[in-house]
């Protein structure tokens, strides 16, 4: 049985429904994503992934923070079934404002410390979310240095040098809920307005992590900053430090072509 057919059958069985048609959805680089047309007329989304049950818990936490996320309809260790959120096109000016406001609500949701109760993964790349006593220690050990040994030695050495200095640049503790993988492909828009945030890799830390990643591959409209509100002093300096994590992930998943991005970001940090 093909992976798509297996996922569709598993998802339909979780709902006690019959699947009449299956459409692959864009965005399945790291997991299978299908739009299922059910016999009762409903449309739902079925996802595989490294841990559907972990993703369901992340979506529940984002929903608790009043973020616009798809409804979790059913889940098991093999499949996550979500309510279908129709999307088309990108964010307009008002939509960027929507995103800023939604992200502020997410980051206003706090925990006792950093990290997340369980690990996660991007495809085969394991993400260790074990909490650390301080936020600089978490960012050094769980992010910048976690996969440094698989990078060219010169880049790894520069990352190590930066990691030692993180207490001088990052807040001592940061406990905001994060989306964790905030780029344009994980933002659904409809008629230019924000429809939903999807595919989280959530944990607790500095909200600037989400903003840094958003700026790495996109240029948010001015309404985003207005909707989110002012950033703490030094945010521009910290941005390259936080952008290094998605750059490292891309290098590990998609190849050495991203090593140049890591080099440029390290240079921006003074390393």
Residue given tokens 């910290």 in the structure block: 238
Helices (H), the chain: 3-15, 52-64, 93-107, 135-138, 153-165, 208-217, 222-228, 235-254, 259-268
- Half-sphere exposure in the Cβ direction for 223 (13 Å, CA): 14
> Residue 45 CA to chain centroid, in angstroms?
18
Give yes or no for a contact between 27 and 199, defined as CB atoms under 8 angstroms apart.
yes
Helix (H, G, I), strand (E, B) or coil at 204: strand
181, 199, 206, 210: the catalytic one is 181
The strand pairing partners of 34, in sequence order, are 24, 46
Active-site residue, 210 included = no
Which residue numbers are catalytic?
181
């Amino acid at each position: 049985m093909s992976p798509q057919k297996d996922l569709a059958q598993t998802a339909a069985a979780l709902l006690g429904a019959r699947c009449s048609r299956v459409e692959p959805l864009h965005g399945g680089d790291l997991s299978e994503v299908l739009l299922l047309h059910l016999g009762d007329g409903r449309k739902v989304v079925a996802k595989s992934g490294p841990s559907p049950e972990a993703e369901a818990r992340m979506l529940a936490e984002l929903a608790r923070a009043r973020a616009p996320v798809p409804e979790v309809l059913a889940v098991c260790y093999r499949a996550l079934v979500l309510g279908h959120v129709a999307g088309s096109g990108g964010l307009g000016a008002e939509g960027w404002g929507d995103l800023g406001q939604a992200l502020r609500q997410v980051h206003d949701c706090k925990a006792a410390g950093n990290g997340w109760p369980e690990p996660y993964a991007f495809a085969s790349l394991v993400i260790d979310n074990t909490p650390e006593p301080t936020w600089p220690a978490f960012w050094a050990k769980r992010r910048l240095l976690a996969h440094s040994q698989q990078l060219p030695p010169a880049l790894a050495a520069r990352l190590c040098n930066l990691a030692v200095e993180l207490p001088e640049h990052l807040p001592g503790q940061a406990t905001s809920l994060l989306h964790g993988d905030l780029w344009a492909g994980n933002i659904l828009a409809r008629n230019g307005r924000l429809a939903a945030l999807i595919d989280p890799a959530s944990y607790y830390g500095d909200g600037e992590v989400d903003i840094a990643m958003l700026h790495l591959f996109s240029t948010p409209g001015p309404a985003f900053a207005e909707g989110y509100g002012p950033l703490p002093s030094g945010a521009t300096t910290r941005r390259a430090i936080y952008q290094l994590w998605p750059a490292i992930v891309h290098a590990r998943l998609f190849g050495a072509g991203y090593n140049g991005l890591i080099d440029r970001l390290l240079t921006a940090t003074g390393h």
